[in-house]
């Protein structure tokens, strides 16, 4: 079966039905999902259609037909099904997200934006819709507006990882890299399976190496952000903590970056900056420090940057690294609306 690689959405199968209990429509629906999972696209479409005939008001059958047609590369037909699904009672944010994706896939970006905006009117706190809109704006070369969408998505649903990923990439490619350093690391902690993690690890490592420079004996220059007229107070916090942690002239590698990151955290808490500028990432790192796994965590974050050095360190610290992994499994990063970290759009 073809994978839907061109799409930027992630399918969330919906299993809520208007009537409780197992009925014939639900059986057709479940069988349709099973058939699609093994690549039997025509049979899956037939089963979803049979379910729709028995339960005409339920949007999920049109939704699944649309998704299945998209898997088969039949985008215009998939779009018509998704239009039908979005008009029905109960259509959720994933439905509008896919509708926007299909409009975009068929080249109608104006309708894609309209569909996503309509979805946000119905679901103003949908991180998925903000992510899809941001991705669409990136394609239209509007990084500023895209960044606002990702930030709004983070504020709306702080545990939805994709907004952190895109926000990090935009920030790390801009003069305001300090946001991306935090967004990227949060992404690593809450997205536990994505193949995007190696990409972010490399970007974090490269940003450290390229943005910390010894410009003269005893003087370090940082280029993580610009604090014009004190309009970006977190820039001052980030640069101040990092600047105090860097030894002028020292090499930048996994070992020294681990030391710098530890000193950064110490400065952040010694100066009680956590009280004025609370940050869920730094709070999580403090817990790691108390648990004795912070050094191993720094290597975990940046290991892609210097694979051979990491392997050498790991060979000498396997017990510490396994302790870190065990601690992380028992203590996942959790962020809610009260602790969310995002720029104000």
Q: What is the pLDDT of residue 9?
A: 34
Question: What DSSP element (H or E) covers 213?
Answer: strand 212-216
**Looking at the domain assignment, is residue 282 inside a domain?**
no
Q: Is the pLDDT of residue 11 over 60?
A: no
Q: What is the pLDDT of residue 255?
A: 96
Q: pLDDT tens, 210-258?
A: 999 988 888 899 999 987 556 789 999 999 999 999 999 889 999 999 9
**How much is the average pLDDT of 123-149?**
97
**Looking at the domain assignment, is residue 214 inside a domain?**
no
**Looking at the domain assignment, is residue 51 inside a domain?**
yes
Residue 59: which CATH number?
A: 1.25.40.10
Average of per-residue pLDDT values in the chain: 91
**Looking at the domain assignment, is residue 118 inside a domain?**
no
Q: Which among 146, 153, 145 has a CA at the least distance from the CA of 129? A: 153
CA distances from 284 to 98, 281, 324 (A): 34, 5, 13
Q: How many residues does the chain have?
A: 345
**Looking at the domain assignment, is residue 90 inside a domain?**
yes
Can you tell me the distance from the alpha carbon of 75 to that of 231, in angstroms, rounded to the nearest whole number? 46
Q: Are 129 and 122 in contact (CB under 8 A)?
A: no
Q: Is the pLDDT of residue 131 over 70?
A: yes
Helix, coil or strand: residue 170: helix
73: phi > 0 → left, psi -120 to 50 → alpha, else beta; which?
left
DSSP line for 302-338: HGGGGHHHHHHHHHH-HHHHHHHHHHHHHS-----TT
Q: Which among 55, 91, 69, 65 has a CA at the least distance from the CA of 7? A: 69
Q: What is the pLDDT of residue 229?
A: 57
Q: What is the pLDDT of residue 23?
A: 81
Q: How many domains does the chain have?
A: 1
Q: Is the pLDDT of residue 100 over 70?
A: yes
**Looking at the domain assignment, is residue 50 inside a domain?**
yes
Tokens standing for residue 319? 């017990």
**Looking at the domain assignment, is residue 16 inside a domain?**
yes
Can you tell me the distance from the alpha carbon of 285 to that of 302, in angstroms, rounded to the nearest whole number? 15
pLDDT class of 282 with cuts at 50, 70, 90: very high
Place of tokens 């259509």: 91
**Looking at the domain assignment, is residue 56 inside a domain?**
yes
Q: pLDDT tens, 306-336?
A: 999 999 999 999 999 999 999 999 999 999 9
Q: Where in the sequence is the domain holding 92, given as residue range(s)?
A: 1-112
């Amino acid at each position: 079966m073809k994978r839907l690689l061109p799409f930027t959405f992630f399918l969330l199968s919906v299993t809520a039905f208007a009537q409780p209990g197992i009925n014939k429509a639900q059986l057709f629906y479940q069988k349709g999902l099973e058939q699609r999972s093994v690549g039997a696209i025509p049979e899956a479409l037939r089963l979803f259609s049979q379910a729709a005939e028995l339960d005409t008001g339920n949007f999920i059958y049109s939704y699944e037909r649309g998704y299945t047609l998209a898997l088969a590369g039949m985008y215009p037909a998939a779009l018509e099904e998704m239009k039908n699904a979005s008009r029905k009672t109960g259509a959720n944010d994933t439905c509008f997200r896919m509708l926007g994706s299909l409009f975009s896939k068929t080249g109608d970006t104006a309708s894609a934006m309209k569909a996503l905006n309509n979805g946000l009117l119905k679901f103003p706190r949908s991180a998925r819709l903000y992510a899809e809109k941001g991705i669409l704006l990136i394609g239209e070369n509007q990084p500023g507006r895209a960044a606002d969408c990702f930030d709004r998505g983070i504020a709306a649903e702080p545990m939805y990882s994709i907004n952190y990923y895109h926000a990090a990439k935009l920030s790390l490619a801009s003069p305001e890299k300090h946001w991306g350093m935090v967004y990227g690391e949060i992404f690593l902690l809450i997205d536990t399976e994505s193949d995007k993690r190696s990409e972010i690890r490399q970007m974090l490592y490269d940003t450290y190496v390229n943005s910390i420079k010894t410009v003269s004996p005893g003087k370090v220059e940082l280029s993580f952000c610009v604090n014009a007229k004190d309009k970006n107070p977190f820039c001052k916090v980030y640069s101040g903590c990092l600047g105090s942690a860097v030894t002028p002239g020292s090499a930048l590698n996994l070992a020294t970056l681990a030391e710098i990151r530890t000193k950064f955290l110490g400065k952040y808490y010694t100066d009680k900056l956590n009280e004025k500028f609370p940050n869920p990432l730094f709070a999580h790192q403090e817990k790691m420090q108390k648990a004795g796994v912070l050094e191993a965590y720094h290597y975990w974050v940046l290991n892609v940057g210097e694979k051979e050095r990491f392997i050498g360190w790991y060979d000498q610290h396997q017990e510490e690294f396994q302790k870190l992994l065990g601690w992380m499994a028992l203590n996942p990063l959790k962020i809610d609306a009260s602790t969310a970290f995002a720029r104000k759009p």
